[in-house]
Amino acid sequence: MSEKPQIGFIGVGLMGQGMAKNLVEKGYPLTILGHRNRAPVEDLKGRGAKEAEDVAALTEASDVIFLCLPGSPQVEAVVGEILAAGASGKTIIDTSTSNPVSTRALVEKCRADGVTLIDAPLSRTPKEAWEGLLDAMVGASEADFDRVQPIIATWAGKIVRVGEPGAGHTMKLLNNFLSLGYAAIYSEALAIGAKNGLDAATFHSIIGGGRMDCGFYQTFMKWVVERDPDAHKFALKNAHKDMRYVVSLANESGIASHVSSAVKNNFATADATGHGEEYLPRIADIVAELNGIKHETGS
């Protein structure tokens, strides 16, 4: 084994490509799994990564395996393949936004096979992934956190151990509940304003720079006001998935989910009406359209 652990990476999509790029450029031997979209795979190979033909080959080549997948069903399937390949002594780090109920079950399944599963979901955007400035919420024992923290630091600027395995995914869902809740509130507020003669640009001139401003608000409104299609690259179908996980976790915890269910229904509507592949700020237009409104940007 080389001085640095051998890294495997499964899921080199919008977020994963930047993360994997930082791993290989900062000296970690990297093996990636092939992807239907060949552009990020070829880019990473050009930077020194190797490509594995399947999960078993990647598992054999790796000491630490990162997952950056759409959700728990995909994570469960891939972890099953990793364990079937014989992974005793290896570490899996799931950076996906997964259901903590599923994560806790996988932790026990991995432990029984001598494998360590750590959850380290992400916050921020593909831009920060490329720059190595993501936020990571890590669920791990203190010893495991100390061991993997230098690896995570290749692609994260802020790394916080939030508790034992499963706690990272819990914190990530709460983070997304807040942000997606704001998206739903912004959208409804903009629709009410538009119906009463206040366009989006006027709304933004008051809220922007005030106490209710924040980074999330800025990227959201960059679409609403400026029509920047790349302002916030997060698909509405993933927002719907994350809110389903939030409501499921609330139900599992015996918590009344009045607000989270209402937020979830906004994104369920967007997904069901054919907008799932579109990016998050489009929810403002969808809410407006459902109310017979077309937003005027003032430009």
Just list the catalytic residues.
172
Whole-angstrom distance, CA of residue 291 vs CA of residue 299: 22
Whole-angstrom distance, CA of residue 284 vs CA of residue 295: 9
Whole-angstrom distance, CA of residue 37 vs CA of residue 164: 35
Identify the helix (H) or strand (E) that includes residue 244: helix 236-253
Phi/psi of residue 230, nearest 5 degrees: -105, 15
Contacts of 80 (CB under 8 A, 6+ apart): none
- Strand 64-67 relative to strand 7-10: parallel, antiparallel, unpaired? parallel
Q: Which of 187, 185, 144 is nearest to 165 (CA)?
A: 144
Phi/psi of residue 37, nearest 5 degrees: -85, 105
Q: What is the DSSP string of 39-97?
A: HHHHHHHHTT-EEESSHHHHHHH-SEEEE--SSHHHHHHHHHHHHHT--TT-EEEE-S-
